[in-house]
A and B are shown apart, each in its own frame.
Chain A
Amino acid sequence: MSGVAVKDLSVAYDGALAVDALDLEVPEGEWLSLIGPNGAGKTSVLRAIANLVPFRGDVRVGGHAVASLGRRELARRVSMLVQEPDMPAGMTVAHYVLLGRSAHLGYLGRESDHDRRIVAETLQRLGLETFAARPLDHLSGGERQRVAIARALAQESPVLLVDEPTTSLDVGRQQSVLELIDELRHDRSLTVISAMHDLTLAGQYADRLALLVGGRLVAAGAPAEILVESVIAEHYRARVAIVDLNGSGHAVVPVRR
């Protein structure tokens, strides 16, 4: 049981509401993508699920209220890939991935062979074995994103939160990162909640889309239901054409006014 249930969630920064009375239900194994214009509150929702910001309302992961779980207990259930992961210069890829094991160690505990084995397996699964000893500052953008995914994966939590995983990647690398997340979710029956700007990619990979505007949920459903010209036009103030890709989802294409 590792679905995510959000009821009446509100997040405010200095009194300004970023998320306003949001309800969401994400069953185990589903990929839900939050979409919406800038400032819609997508990242705030992810932060609330990871209990990284103060919030009002009820957020549950696998039936447990995240606010009542300890830091470590929550980290064993929810891992988060932030938009721009901090990659300290000089730290090696293997060491960085090893950090993902923290949630499984006592406060002053040391990693065991079991933890090291998981690091080795994770690196292998993501094709990063040859990178193990390489410093993080010697990686390209695409490699960094894979390494960040590896760290989240080593955490072995059933829920993965992903904030804008494709920012600053070229189109090929955007695809390969999302393919990877999708493969992993099927391998390990992960529940994935992502925040995404790119509507086409969001629609192609997620099972469902949730459209947020001004902190409120305005529509949720299968990509074909949400990626509709009139809906996008209204909420993004954009003129777009929706192109049916014959079974491979829909492309959202901007049209010059």
Chain B
Amino acid sequence: MLGVKAPPRPVVVAGLPSLRWLWAVAGVAAVLLSCLVGVMAGPVHIAPAAVLQTLTGGAIDPGQANILWSIRFPRVVLGLLVGGMLAMAGAAYQGVFRNPLADPYLLGAAAGANLGATLAIAFAPGTTVLGVNTVPLAAFAGAGAAVGGAYALGRSVSGLRSTTGLILAGVAIAAFFNSIQQYVQQAQTGSIRQVYSWILGRLSTAGWDAVLLVLPYVVLSVVVIFLHRRLLDALAISDQEVSNLGISVRRVRIIVIVAATLGTAAVVAVGGTIAFVGIIIPHTIRLLVGRSYRVVVPLSLLFGAAFLVLADTAARTLLAPAEIPIGVITAFVGAPFFIAVMRSTRMTSV
């Protein structure tokens, strides 16, 4: 014992927000499990052993390897990106707007994406820009335009002193974009089915293209939101008090909104406007684990990713060979589950 100095003990204070490792492990396990299910399920059943062999470079049936690498893997990875991003962006929006009903589409991202996609489907079907399908690009541009418009409008009206002006601007822009979208949809009946299927959400199956298309935006958005989790906690108190803590409310709000919008616009472009993930996942985590964004942000990413991969697997297998729109699954499964969680926790702190 002599000469051995005890290492300084970490300071433990009850009630401080922290992500318990058990929950982190559970989140990672959920992601891995959902990936395995998603990769195995489909018209051709592929055994877990074959999946592992493929991943480790082993020799398996070339037909199965082809299915895995060109269809199942990219689709599962895309599901992870879309689900994780929507859930995390939802959590971020709820934080900056201090509004439990905020979802990633609050400022008009969905309406903008729908309009962009509808225009592309109706007037430029099957075209590409720089080798990329026009539909996701138009959706991305539409989402960006809508949120940018809402932001500019909210700023000019209320000077961003309150979030109410911004939210109302988003509502107005969304209504305006929706009206144009519906007009185009009704006027171009030939593409109405395609438009509907896009709006209800469907992960594109164009190999790795879609994954590569959204990856940079999702990574950037996820990193930025993750770094702001402590500040999102501080935004829970009034703007004036946050300022007095030495935090620029406006700066946090702008950075997080831009990051969450960028990620949302990217995943909406390839997945359509998948409803409910951005609300149900963060709130379930709040109810079951804790309200701090240090918990909600990382766990939303993990469980949102796992949830969407499972929902997508159900969407493409239940009525195979037909595909059910993924938004139908997320709401049909998600809503009852969410209600069950709400009842069992008696919503003590929402």
Contact = CB atoms under 8 A, between A and B. Distances in A.
Contacts of B11: 113, 116-117, 120
**Which label, helix, strand, loop or mixed, suits the secondary structure of the B interface?**
loop
B245 A99 contact: yes
A88 interface: yes
B244 A75 contact: yes
Interface string A117-147: 1011001000000001111010000000000
Interface string B221-260: 0000001101101101110110111111000000000000
Interface in A68-118: 71-76, 78-80, 82, 85-95, 98-100, 102-103, 105, 107-111, 113, 116-117
A7 B147 CA distance: 44
A95 B233 contact: yes
Contact of B244 (A79, A92, A117): A79
A170 B286 CA distance: 35
A19 interface: no
B246 A71 contact: yes
B292 A95 contact: yes
A73 B234 CA distance: 18
Contacts of B350: 89-90
19 contacts: A50-B244, A72-B246, A76-B246, A85-B241, A88-B236, A88-B291, A91-B292, A93-B15, A100-B245, A102-B246, A102-B247, A108-B228, A108-B230, A109-B230, A111-B230, A116-B12, A116-B13, A132-B14, A133-B15
A119 B11 CA distance: 10
Contacts of A109: 230
Contacts of B238: 82, 86
A108 B291 CA distance: 20
Contacts of B348: 90
A155 interface: yes
B245 A103 contact: yes
A52 interface: yes
Interface of B: 8, 10-17, 227-228, 230-231, 233-234, 236-238, 240-241, 243-248, 286, 291-292, 348-350
B240 A102 contact: no
A89 B347 CA distance: 11
Contacts of A107: 231
A52 B8 CA distance: 40
Nearest to B227: A108
A52 B13 contact: no
Given A93-B15, A137-B349, A113 B10 contact: yes
Contacts of B228: 108
B246 A74 contact: yes
B13 A91 contact: no
B248 A71 contact: yes
A85 B245 contact: no
A129 to B, nearest CB: 8
A82 B17 contact: no
A79 B241 CA distance: 9
A94 B349 contact: no
A91 B291 contact: yes
A72 B244 CA distance: 8
A161 to B, nearest CB: 9
Contacts of B16: 92, 94-95, 98, 116, 119, 132
Nearest to A111: B230
Nearest to A148: B241
B246 A86 contact: no
Contacts of B286: 90
Contacts of B8: 113
Contacts of A95: 15-17, 233, 292
Nearest to B286: A90
A102 B245 contact: yes
Contact of B291 (A82, A90, A119): A90
Contacts of A123: 13
Contacts of B247: 71-72, 102
